Structure 1
Amino acid sequence: MKLRTFAFATAMAATAATGAASSVDYAALRDDSRMHEELLGASIAYLIDENCPTIRLRKFRLLNKAFSLRKHAMTLGYSSKEVLAYVESKAEQDRFRAIAEPMLAKRGVKPGDEESYCAVGRAEIKQGSFAGSLLYES
């Protein structure tokens, strides 16, 4: 399944113009600590949601965070359209998955083991981490 970093594409698409940006230098987005931490947290939350049947994404909270992060990205000089292209980029999604999966593995997640994802998800929720703030247990 395709990782949608921050499930952001849907949220961003609500306000972005259609079409993809071309030849945009995304270094400022990649280097920005807030962008990195929140997109990584969202990636972790998405992986937990995708693999744990009892933990779900808080879609309205996710939408609110997505709009806030888009606004932040725009202060870095990017348009809504460019931010959407960045978030939808397969390369960026793969990059965040490559960071998130080993982090989850260090916390005991095993591919194919739903309960291991659920345990980490419950811990994230209890900690009140960024990822945890995007999740709830049903």
Structure 2
Amino acid sequence: MRILSTLALSIALAATSVGASAQSGLYNEKDINDGLLIIAVADKIRRGCDSISARIFKARSYAVGLKELASSRGYSDEEIDNYIENKENKAEMRLRRNAYFQSKGASNLDPESLCVLGRAEIQKQSQIGALLRAR
């Protein structure tokens, strides 16, 4: 469980404080940021809902794939890591994650609504659901 939280923090919540070009570049990589949102949503669901756990290997593989995608686009490991660790972008990702929850009738503050959403994501076999397992 701790592994997914670490991955979510180290892969999912983003922005560079080192290079302005890397920050604006990674910030504008829609598919990468959409993938980071998927990880953030799945991580919060599994942390908030006792009846759902993470598929650790799938989550790790998905996160590594996002990092490899960023690397293939010319971003260095340092740029990616700095992007991920930026506090302002972590806060922005939490806002995006919570907006996603709200759009689905759930709340980050309501464990039961996270369970309902998590089970629905698993049932429809979404990318979010693929990172989760009902216990």
TM-score range, shorter chain: 0.7 to 0.9
| 1:58-89 alpha-carbon deviations (Å, 9 max, x no partner) | 11111111111111001221111221221122
Structure showing the higher helix proportion among its residues? 2
Normalised by the length of structure 1, the TM-score is: 0.80
| Aligned sequence identity (%) | 29
Matched, 1:9 2:10: yes
Which blocks of at least 5 consecutive residues in structure 1 are unaligned? 11-19
Matched, 1:70 2:59: no
For 1:51 and 1:77, how far apart are their aligned partners in 2?
36
| 1:16-74 alpha-carbon deviations (Å, 9 max, x no partner) | xxxx9723432222212220211111111111112111111211111111111111001
Q: Supply the AA of the counterpart residue of 1:55.
A: I
Aligned length, in residue pairs: 126
RMSD over aligned Cα, in angstroms? 2.2
4+ long deviations beyond 6 Å: none
Which blocks of at least 5 consecutive residues in structure 2 are unaligned? none
Matched, 1:97 2:94: yes
| 1:81-130 alpha-carbon deviations (Å, 9 max, x no partner) | 22122112222211111111022022121344211100000111112222
Normalised by the length of structure 2, the TM-score is: 0.81
